[in-house]
Chains A and B, each alone.
Chain A
């Protein structure tokens, strides 16, 4: 016993330290370690703090011992990014799932980072309000994960992304320092918008512990109109016409794939009168363009199921996310479908067609061809001012398939920001754009 290796001794000593700090519920089991494996690497510890101050204490211990930490929520989007340079601890906020304050008459909500979007929206429903985000798999999407991954869904058409609704954040830096930014009121320009930096930062800057949002009233009525066409491009053009019309759709989602002809789902929300009027106008805009309402309409549940199916990556599938100026989407998608069909057994596609964002899921892809196809599609996307990100891919492929693409303009500033937040590179080291 006295001969145990130093690493082992650290393991036991630190495990005890985490147990003392966080209690039995605060230290994950071996099955948690498997669940929170990142790109095939299991963390030595999974810690689950019960609140902001426990998070700060746990991070201080990690910093003291130079442990690399990957922040997580439920673990759904942990596969995003490059394989970590090193990994010791996954810190999951999943036990921090309380609604801190719901000021219904102010239309604001303060919530802990580990609450899931589904649970939050369920809790808000009786007051006739919601957090207007509908990314895939909301029951596995925590608030912290939603922010860190800037996850979005079809309603992005009307409501933008999480950055447009986030009023303030509480977070903990890698050295255990608690910080906050913004506030709890709907308009606020005091100090820098530090919280904007955490949106989409994939756990590389700080651990988000609490967030405050503006809320949106639930609509009185909703209506879906579907259009079918042989060509993706004509549906994309119809989507733009609808987006620019006074009908103001809440979502304009195109579904397509190897085995399914493209469909455009246009969703409208508002008062009954607005929704009826909007649906009538949408149908007539379709007719003007000789695109027919489709016979087998897709309802909201079917749309959600399809969206979830595209998002839930897993080996050996590859999920690509692309953003291009919306006028370029039709052409890009058409060529992307052709290209992807060549390298994969099955391709499924979801596009927020009024925005210019799409997700493609490639099943049973041929590894050597994926790299080539991703490179070509990325060049097309970047040439029009957009981006292509590999949201999910088998870990072993990430060394071949460029996950993030070329570093963006201002990359030196991004490296500087990483150093300002996390000078010792303890948080998700090496996972982000350009290996930040």
Chain B
């Protein structure tokens, strides 16, 4: 696909030299996100600074019949911002202003390119924070979070992005700007904001959002429980939830992951543990002592060999750094990795972890696990070396098997990473043709000509795209 001759000049006139990336080697940065199995280089990357500029660029694209793909920081894990049949990439990273913090109403108005962690950092001065905390929060943007309906470790108690976004400003695929949602969750009319969140950029480009902020809790207590058996750790997760405790976070790492994390961050994890749980409670300190005792008891009943309580804020911070930067430590295990994102009912964790072990053995792959156990949201990390084509094929096949097993156990293909290009062909495992047809019709209400982030989510829309391993859907 190519662009009409004068489109680049017209876009240049809107965003200036700083706002445009044309040189081949510079565009290479934009050829994939965190899902690196597939790559496709955009013909033109545009870096607008305002909603007005985004709208103007989108209008030009619409007039010239050119499709576009929105991008935030590119930390996505399902290829959601891979340009396929969309030569223009509109990257929101320069729109990174926190427009306003309304302390009285506990909201923040931010541009789409604002980095997730910066919101909480700014709100902290007012005793407030933004709850959704994806592991990539030092880099990922609010616009990307909105597109994927991102989660994070603390969504167990506090919910995901959609529970914390009151309204969004959307540049529609024809360039019109509209504000969807309002000051409250039940403004009259259909919940347009609710369906834009998680639409993976297929309804247009979100340029601003109003976020709900929460008061910082009085305190938090973080525990580390060490297990000799993965099954025991999984059973402890169910045990905690079943006794009516909803911790702020409930995370698991398996032995291989612990080994890598320990080598990278030196927290003091036992290197011979089969699994560890990181359990956090927060709220009023008055409740901590007995709640902590109850959790320790449940872990011990399920065979924990040791339960440690973070002594101070520094230890707690290091523990969370180890967890949230676990992906960074994976580089020590293999040159490449692919993270899966299935969900199972939390009581099925032992079963799905057994499936993962079997699939890994069958496909002769090493798999590390670090995941949101309390939500049943698994993140098996399949290790490979991309120079070995057979390994790449085995990774793709194993990933598919694991996700199929999640669905068979009553779960889902994705808890927080999105369908993107990665899981398009699997969507029919969850939805009937009628379900998908309704979704497609809803999409056409927002984007009648399928201009915004085309060839994503839906299986049929991948038809015009080459299937080649490993870059099986690289643009034609």
Contacts and interface: CB of A to CB of B under 8 A. Distances in A.
B295 interface: no
Given A248-B283, A271-B287, A106 B244 contact: no
A200 interface: yes
A200 B286 contact: no
B347 A106 contact: yes
A378 B185 CA distance: 18
B162 A179 contact: no
A108 B438 contact: no
A39 interface: no
Given A190-B412, A196-B195, A184 B187 contact: no
A107 B411 CA distance: 14
Nearest to B457: A191
A305 interface: no
A201 B436 CA distance: 20
Contacts of A433: 188-189
Give the residue among A129, A196, A434 with the most B Cβ atoms within 10 A.
Answer: A196
Give the residue among B185, B287, B445, B457 with the most A Cβ atoms within 10 A.
Answer: B185
A194 B440 CA distance: 11
A408 B183 CA distance: 12
Interface string B362-377: 0000000000100111
Interface string A185-196: 111111111101
B135 interface: no
B284 A248 contact: yes
Contacts of A217: 244-246
A193 B217 contact: no
A323 interface: yes
Interface residues of A, number: 86
B241 A323 contact: no
Interface string B432-461: 101110110111111000000000010000
Interface residues on B, range: 35 or more
A76 B182 CA distance: 27
A379 B30 CA distance: 47
Interface string B246-276: 1000000000000000000000000000000
Interface stretch (B110-118, B328-336, B414-422, B467-475): B414-422
B435 A179 contact: yes
A197 B190 CA distance: 6
A45 interface: no
B197 A193 contact: yes
A125 to B, nearest CB: 12
A405 B188 contact: yes
A18 interface: no
A434 to B, nearest CB: 8
B192 interface: yes
Given A217-B245, A273-B287, A186 B376 contact: yes
A270 B283 contact: yes
Q: Which 5 A-B pairs have the closest CB atoms?
A: A196-B194, A217-B244, A277-B286, A416-B445, A327-B104
Interface of A: 103-108, 128-129, 150, 152, 160-161, 163-164, 173, 177-181, 183-194, 196-197, 199-201, 205, 216-218, 220, 240, 243-248, 270-271, 273-274, 276-278, 323-327, 355-357, 384-387, 389, 404-405, 407-411, 413-414, 416-417, 419-421, 432-434
